[in-house]
Amino acid sequence: MQTRKAQSQPSPNRTNSQETFSSDKDIVRCPVINPGSLIPLVQERRLRKVLQKIESGSCYLVRDLAREVRLSPAHLQRLFKQETGVNISDLLAENRLRTAAQLLSTTEMEIKEIAYLTGYQHHSSFVRAFQRRFHQPPSAYRQPPEA
């Protein structure tokens, strides 16, 4: 039995632009997956609807999106990856974390509240995901840079 090694190629659907928010401080700059840039590339009408829902800014779960377009979650994930080259769960996580970063920058809400609002069931899961994405915990992200 032979196994083929997947070639590591950059996905054409990931944007190379750096993300910025309109806040007073600099955000850690990371490559971003933009749902809006994927819409013109997608032929399947159900996937276009999913991308539009994600782009609208609501925090969705794969299960909810699949129900919306009458597919099983597994089939939606397979179809989405096949059509876009991006995992839908990665896109949803990125969307949730960008929303959280914006809330941290623009509101005085508690970190725990932001975690639940952006779809995390556990505060600790949110902190770990945020730190992986932005290379700093939410509390440090919120603090203004020292002069």
Note down pLDDT in tens along the chain; length 147 residues. 444 433 333 333 333 333 333 333 333 334 456 776 777 777 888 999 998 888 887 767 899 999 999 999 999 999 999 998 889 999 999 989 999 999 999 999 999 999 999 989 999 999 999 999 999 999 999 877 665
Q: Pick from 29, 11, 10, 9: which is nearest to 19 by CA?
A: 29
The residue extents of the domains of the chain are: 30-142
- As a CATH number, domain 30-142 is 1.10.10.60
pLDDT of residue 147: 56
State which amino acid sits at residue 58.
S
Residue appearing with tokens 């007073």: 24
> What pLDDT shows up at residue 39?
72
Residue type, 52: Q
Q: pTM score > 0.85 for this model?
A: no
- 37 contact partners, CB below 8 Å, separation of at least 6: 13, 15
pLDDT on residue 3:
42
- 104 with 142: CB under 8 angstroms? yes
